[in-house]
Amino acid sequence: MGVAVIGASMTKFGQRDAWLQGLLSQAGEECLEDAGVTPKEVKHLYVSNMASGEFEGKTGVMNALAHDLGLIPAYSERVDQTSSSGGAGIYEAWQSVASGASEMTLLVGGEKMTHKTTGQATDIIASIAHPAEYKHGVTLPSFAGMTARHYLERFDAPRESLARVAVKNHENGVDNPNAQFQKEITIETALDSPVIADPLRLYDFCPITDGSAAMLFTTEERAAEIADEYAVVSGIGGATDTHVVHERDDPTIMGGVVESSREAYGMAGLGPEDLDVAELHDMFTILEFLQLEGIGVADQGTAWELAMDGTTEKDGELPINTSGGLKSKGHPLGASGVAQGVEIYEQLVGEAGPRQVEADTALACNVGGFGNCVITTIMEAAQ
Amino acid sequence: MTLGAGICPNGHVSYPTHPRCPDCGEPQDETVDLSDDRAEVVTWTTSTATPPGVREPNTMAIVEFDISHLDLDDTFVRALGQVTTEEVETGDVVEPVYVEELRDPDVGLKSANPESTEWGGYRWDPV
């Protein structure tokens, strides 16, 4: 059964006073209103969230949200796939409709993080690492530092190319009213910022963020009846890579990105050459290169050239992260994959406002851990 | 103390060990101790934003042990670890040095149940 997206919303991302429940409720309610669907029509609810217990001492968020939004007795479930919980939520929502189990599925992703110190938040996220890595004090940013050094040394890529990813995504974020940072930066600012995980600096990393995002899924048939504009999930794939990062055959190949995108392209009957716009998981600038290579847009070791020649800018041949990406929009863990879906939906139905590009086919790649779990989603504008 | 890598019947080697081989799914039924061997730095970083209980700055490296003399299918195995110094470069040769506590078990997310994880291990000491 064909699966359509008929509504989308996101809260303002950033440092928010609201706690997780309030953020989820806001995004969920606005999504139903966006689609003109009443709460009682919803059959399944998925809540993407990585660590409400660790961050807020709160569990059972799916049932709480179903109650608050008037969705009772809909089936509800929390989806945790660390940073790719949002993408995994898209996968679950797609499955629920494609299988015929649900005709109307609401997906809400969210995380509340900023009340913790940077050290505490880093420790919660680093707990995904294998004990053999965790005991050394490894953090996700330090994996990025080691991978970036290897990439730059091996492929002779200029350090400036990473700074250009940050500059581009900050420039895109200026036009996103829900982004954490609506502020342009210069290459010099990025290259002169404090070192966090050598050779990477502050502006190579996404911030710590509160926020929520939501999408509403139904069958293509139902969408054609009730929605003026909608998008179709034409391909989706999910894959897992090694838990221990150094065990990967090649440190610059994200196996989960390669496998999940191959699956998504196969289902959609499309290839990288068909993409008009994409949201990639730029938790660290280096990840934008590794994903461009993993999804087949660039050959191994060459994606940095696309940052240097403008290909991935908003007016370039393949705009990447028109939303501002995780870099400037922010990264509330469980919300990020859903927010990627919100952006490509808005691009496909022509609701992206000043960020709008011409797009009939769009891809979102959501990465959990350091590529440990990956979901790639391809959506197309309804014909 | 050992730095044990797991070996499966097909000659695939991993550090750390796993119940089943990550490559082929066969049980890992042998181990090799790498703690007396030298390795080469593949890549490294110095982390200046470390979690509670972790030294700051924290220089870490992924190193590669040459195991071609074991005559297995895999000819090398990699491992991640802290470095004894901040002076390290890609290609440096290092040797493992055992440390009782790599980070403070009494601080951070796992401080309520420190027995749930390992705290001792090997740092890389450039030769």
**A48 and A85 Cβ atoms separated by less than 8 Å:** yes
Please list every residue in chain A whose beta carbon sits closer than 8 Å to the beta carbon of residue B45: 142, 145-146, 149, 197-200
The per-residue pLDDT for range A49-82, each reduced to its tens digit, is 999 999 999 999 999 999 999 999 999 999 999 9
Strands B58-66 and B121-126, sheet pairing: unpaired
Written out in words, the top-level CATH class of the domain with range A3-116+207-381 is alpha beta
How confident is the model over A249-271, as a mean pLDDT? 98
How many angstroms separate the CA atoms of A313 and A309, rounded? 9
Residue B111 is assigned to a structural domain of this protein:
no
Q: In the predicted model, is pLDDT for residue B59 greater than 90?
A: yes
Predicted-assembly ipTM surpassing the 0.90 threshold: yes
Q: Which two tokens stand for residue A283?
A: 């938790």
Of A123, A127, A146, the CB nearest to B45: A146
Q: A155 to chain B, minimum CA–CA distance in Å?
A: 14
How many angstroms separate the CA atoms of A85 and A20, rounded? 15
Domain positions in chain A are 3-116+207-381
Residue of chain A with shortest Cα separation from B75: A249
How confident is the model over A148-167, as a mean pLDDT? 98
Strand, helix or coil for residue A283: coil
Strand, helix or coil for residue A190: helix
Widest CA span of chain B, in angstroms?
44
Strand, helix or coil for residue A49: coil
**A48 and A89 Cβ atoms separated by less than 8 Å:** yes
Please list every residue in chain A whose beta carbon sits closer than 8 Å to the beta carbon of residue B86: none
Q: Which amino acid is at A56?
A: E
Residue B29 is assigned to a structural domain of this protein:
yes
How confident is the model over B51-75, as a mean pLDDT? 97
Subunit contact B47:A141, Cβ cutoff 8 A? yes
- Please provide the average confidence, as pLDDT, over all residues in chain A: 98
How many angstroms separate the CA atoms of A269 and B63, rounded? 41
The per-residue pLDDT for range A7-62, each reduced to its tens digit, is 999 999 999 999 999 999 999 999 999 999 999 999 999 999 999 999 999 999 99
Please list every residue in chain B whose beta carbon sits closer than 8 Å to the beta carbon of residue A118: 49
Question: What pLDDT is recorded for position A10?
Answer: 98
Please list every residue in chain B whose beta carbon sits closer than 8 Å to the beta carbon of residue A251: 42-43, 62
Residue A345 neighbours by CB under 8 Å, 6+ apart: A5, A8, A215, A231, A351, A379
Question: What pLDDT is recorded for position B108?
Answer: 87
How many angstroms separate the CA atoms of A234 and A377, rounded? 8
The sign of the torsion formed by the CA atoms of A21, A23, A28, A29 equals: positive
Subunit contact B102:A118, Cβ cutoff 8 A? no
**B58 and B87 Cβ atoms separated by less than 8 Å:** no
Chain B within 8 Å of A193 (Cβ-Cβ)?
no
- Nearest-CA neighbor of B123 among B61, B77, B67, B65? B61
Residue B112 is assigned to a structural domain of this protein:
no
Subunit contact B43:A120, Cβ cutoff 8 A? no
Our separate counts of H helices and E strands in chain B read 0, 8
Q: How many CB pairs under 8 A join A and B?
A: 123
**pLDDT category of residue A198 using cuts at 50, 70 and 90:** very high
Q: Which amino acid is at A378?
A: I
Q: At what angle do helices A20-35 and A61-68 cross, to 10 degrees?
A: 50
Subunit contact A136:B16, Cβ cutoff 8 A? no
Subunit contact A145:B47, Cβ cutoff 8 A? yes
Of A124, A149, A150, the CB nearest to B109: A124
Residue A41 buriedness (CB in 10 A; 0-12 / 13-18 / 19+)? middle
Interface of B with A in 38-77 (CB under 8 A): 42-55, 58, 60-62
Chain A within 8 Å of B16 (Cβ-Cβ)?
yes
Subunit contact B109:A197, Cβ cutoff 8 A? no
How many angstroms separate the CA atoms of A126 and A114, rounded? 16
**A306 and A54 Cβ atoms separated by less than 8 Å:** no
How many angstroms separate the CA atoms of A10 and A237, rounded? 24
How many angstroms separate the CA atoms of B63 and B75, rounded? 14
Instruction: Please give the residue range of the domain that contains residue B12.
Output: 4-105+117-126
Chain A within 8 Å of B99 (Cβ-Cβ)?
no
Residue B33 is assigned to a structural domain of this protein:
yes
In chain B the first and final C-alpha atoms are separated, in Å, by 20
Residue B42 is assigned to a structural domain of this protein:
yes
Q: A124 to chain B, minimum CA–CA distance in Å?
A: 7
The per-residue pLDDT for range B88-110, each reduced to its tens digit, is 999 999 999 999 999 999 998 88
Residue B121 is assigned to a structural domain of this protein:
yes
Query: Quick check: pTM over 0.95?
Result: yes
The total domain count for chain B is 1
Q: Which amino acid is at B4?
A: G
